Amino acid sequence: MRLHMMLFAGLLAGISLFAQTQGPANNNQAAVVAFARKVAVEALNFHQGNVASFTRTRAEFTPEGWQDYAEHMKGFLDANGAPTFSSSFVASSSATVVDKNDGSVHLRIPGTLKQTQNQSSTTYRAVLDVEAGGKPAKIRHMETMTCPSKSAACR
């Protein structure tokens, strides 16, 4: 009986130690994923002619990440930096972690992207490709990809 108690105590100690070494990393990854999902979706919800609606998430990006994102918008911003169209992104499911390394998480967020300019609008199935990490967490890269109707990437 005493041997069983000692083995049980050792097992509990091992589980506790494992949980302590695994928990924070998993909790951190979950926090980065939640942060990245929230910021990426917010970044794609802006209004035509409204600079503030476009730049409100800028502080949540690394300088290089924002520059990369703004580069994709080149040609769609007016002289004041305001978008020449409105954008609305609604996620259709949870983010999927594609890769993780060294405190960085690469994820994809499927959803519906609607872009409106004046009276015209177009709706796409799309996926946000996002890389985030660091302390505090920042978006390092974000790209929007539209999907063909049968693409599994947008599900």
User: Per-residue pLDDT tens for 25-81?
Assistant: 566 889 999 999 999 999 999 999 999 999 999 999 999 999 999 999 999 999 999
- The continuous run of DSSP H or E covering 114 comes out as strand 104-117
Query: SS3 sequence, 45-110?
Result: CECCCCHHHHHCCHHHECHHHHHHHHHHCCCCECCCCCECCEEEEEECCCCEEEEEECCEEEEEEE
What's this model's pTM, rounded to 2 decimal places?
A: 0.78
